[in-house]
Amino acid sequence: MSVPESRPPLRRGRAVGTFAGAYAAVTVVCPLFYWALAELLHKPLVSGNPFHDPTYVLAQKFYPLLNLAVWSAFALLYLRRGDRRQAFALGRLWLCLALPVDFVGFVLIHNPMSLSPYDFYVSQFPWIYLTYAAVFLGPLCGARIAKVSDEV
């Protein structure tokens, strides 16, 4: 009879800290990408409803990839080794944190980037859901990168 392999525990404080860092980085990177794209395309920034702004419509298509890159990089900082089970647990935790933080930060609290629930969850379809997939998959990608770099 074999003893089941025990999983290394998820270091919650470190996991929440790297979540906060990744979330802050994405919150800066995505608007910067939008503004840079607007400058590159020589399109003025449109105030009001962003869903009528062609630059925003184009930029949001890249947000899942930007998110995947950022969340993968922060997962590398957390994981250090390619432990797939720990990466899966980290992805679940980060997704469970991102959902309410997004709701509070982008729907409930009124700020220049806030949207109505409809605009946030329906008008941004499918990009918002691909972004949530990137939050979940970021640690798995980070673990794979760490595993490949360990093998080299």
Rounded Cα–Cα distance for residues 47 and 98 (Å)? 26
pLDDT at 25: 98
Let me know: does 57 contact 51? Beta carbons within 8 Å. yes
pLDDT at 40: 94
Rounded Cα–Cα distance for residues 69 and 75 (Å)? 10
Q: Considering only CA atoms, give the Rg of the chain.
A: 18
For each successive 10 residues of the chain (152 residues), what is the average pLDDT? 62 96 97 93 74 88 98 93 90 98 95 89 95 98 87 70
Whole-model pTM? 0.89
pLDDT at 81: 77
Let me know: does 33 contact 111? Beta carbons within 8 Å. no
pLDDT at 119: 92
pLDDT at 8: 67
pLDDT at 134: 98
Dihedral pair phi/psi, residue 110, rounded to 5°: -80, 125
Reading the block at residue 84, the tokens are 């797939």
Q: Which amino acid is at 58?
A: L
In order, the DSSP letters of 51-118 are: GG-HHHHHHTTTHHHHHHHHHHHHHHHHHSS--HHHHHHHHHHHHHHHHHHHIIIIIIS-STT---HH
Rounded Cα–Cα distance for residues 94 and 139 (Å)? 9
pLDDT at 113: 80
Rounded Cα–Cα distance for residues 150 and 80 (Å)? 10
